[in-house]
Amino acid sequence: MSQKSKLIEGRTGPWEIVLGLEVHAQVASNAKLFSGAAVGFGAGPNEQVSLVDAAMPGMLPVINRHCVEQAVKTGLGLKAQINLKSHFDRKNYFYPDLPQGYQISQYKHPIVGEGEVIVEHDDGSTFTVRIERLHLEQDAAKLLHDEDPNATYVDLNRAGTALMEIVSMPDMRSSEEAAAYVKKLRTILVYLGTCDGDMEKGNLRADVNVSVRKPGAELGTHCEIKNVNSYRYIQAAIEYEARRQIEILEDGGKIDQETRLFDPGKGETRSTRSKEEAHDYRYFPDPDLLPLELDQAWIDEIRASLPELPDAKKARLQSQYGLTAYDAGVLITEQARADFYEEAVKGRDPKLTANWV
């Protein structure tokens, strides 16, 4: 849990922000979650679409083993429980970019259970964010509104792309902590090779759940800010949303649980719809997919193949080269930078080399 609450002063005294994040990470894979269609950035509209992705009648999904392996690998990297049996469910809602009219996801029985991520503050101290779950699901397609004044175009290239949704517990207490958590999570995923972490392309994006309360009080009603894809925007969205909620509460109003979007141009969040509850999605087990049953020996095999992860690499750089925690922390943020340092330091002064790198 976070120990560094950043209190916001309101007219009626200090308020505390409570934050939980749902991070959507695109699985590093050459094919989609339930079809053999290619995955890649830059293809022409609707060039990477199979009959399954387009939801043609009679088409059946077939699970991509590699995507399952990537989810397991990520779970192990997050020190999380791997569930030997999980289920795929249909999450039903209508949206023009969802060709099936439902999203194949995981609800009550995800592939990965509880884990944790240890995150560093700027001053070198750490806090722990508990992971509630990681589940696999399909991405939706993309709507293009600026091609024609009278029509919206649909590009199905992203439809069916494999996503890992990583859900945290509400353990963060400031916008800085939330950004640091996403940064650390991205570093772990890139080291594992399970997601490329490219936020500009939307391959890593966060839904941010924001609520406020008086210090020590019960949790307040949260609002969810959807699809925020940069550290700076995550912080700006949280700061604006927290102050918006505080003003409403101090004026005697109440917070409506809803979904909001962040407008980077205006630096503010705006309401898009009242927040759905799980029953609104009418979840039920996908009748076309058997339960996913994993073999413990296979999981142990994946565990044995894991690369050196950021925390372990940081500790080794400190002990092996006598670096400070700060220098080692800067070096391990990007895997390529850490690898470059280890090549460059051979036969040279470790501290001087770290400064140059």
Same domain, 247 and 353: no
When pLDDT is cut at 50, 70 and 90, the band that residue 157 belongs to is very high
pLDDT of residue 275: 62
Q: How far apart are alpha carbons 210 and 242 in whole angstroms?
A: 7
Q: How far apart are alpha carbons 187 and 234 in whole angstroms?
A: 17
Whether residue 263 is contained in a domain is answered as: yes
pLDDT tens figures, 112-142: 999 999 999 888 889 999 999 999 999 999 9
Same domain, 298 and 314: no
Final residue in a domain of this structure, among 268, 288, 306: 306
Q: Which residue carries 């995923």 as its tokens? A: 189
Same domain, 219 and 343: no
pLDDT tens figures, 322-334: 999 999 999 999 8
Amino acid found at 129: V
Q: How far apart are alpha carbons 155 and 162 in whole angstroms?
A: 16
Whether residue 162 is contained in a domain is answered as: yes
Whether residue 287 is contained in a domain is answered as: yes
Same domain, 269 and 352: no
Same domain, 206 and 334: no
Whether residue 337 is contained in a domain is answered as: yes
Same domain, 322 and 270: no
pLDDT of residue 280: 82
**Domain, as residue range, for 322:** 308-357
Same domain, 229 and 251: yes
Position with higher pLDDT, 275 vs 160: 160
Same domain, 115 and 159: yes
pLDDT tens figures, 255-279: 999 999 999 999 999 998 776 676 7
Q: Is the pLDDT of residue 196 over 70?
A: yes
CB 70 within 8 A of CB 97: no
Burial grade of 24 (CB within 10 A; 0-12, 13-18, 19 or more): buried
pLDDT tens figures, 38-80: 998 889 999 999 999 999 999 999 999 999 999 999 999 999 9
pLDDT of residue 317: 96
Whether residue 1 is contained in a domain is answered as: no
pLDDT tens figures, 174-186: 999 999 999 999 9
Same domain, 282 and 320: no
Strand partners, 259: 224, 273
pLDDT of residue 96: 86
Whether residue 3 is contained in a domain is answered as: no
The chain-wide mean pLDDT, for the chain, equals: 94
Number of domains the chain is built from: 2
Same domain, 27 and 80: yes
DSSP 242: H
pLDDT of residue 5: 67
Mention every residue, 6+ apart, whose C-beta is less than 8 A from residue 72.
Answer: 82, 111, 112, 294, 299, 302
> What distance lies between CA 86 and its chain's CA centroid?
20
For the chain, report the end-to-end CA distance as a whole number of angstroms.
33
Q: Is the pLDDT of residue 223 over 60?
A: yes
Q: How far apart are alpha carbons 330 and 141 in whole angstroms?
A: 37
pLDDT of residue 141: 93
Same domain, 248 and 335: no
Same domain, 162 and 297: yes
Mention every residue, 6+ apart, whose C-beta is less than 8 A from residue 262.
Answer: 225, 228, 233, 236, 237, 240, 268, 269
Whether residue 2 is contained in a domain is answered as: no
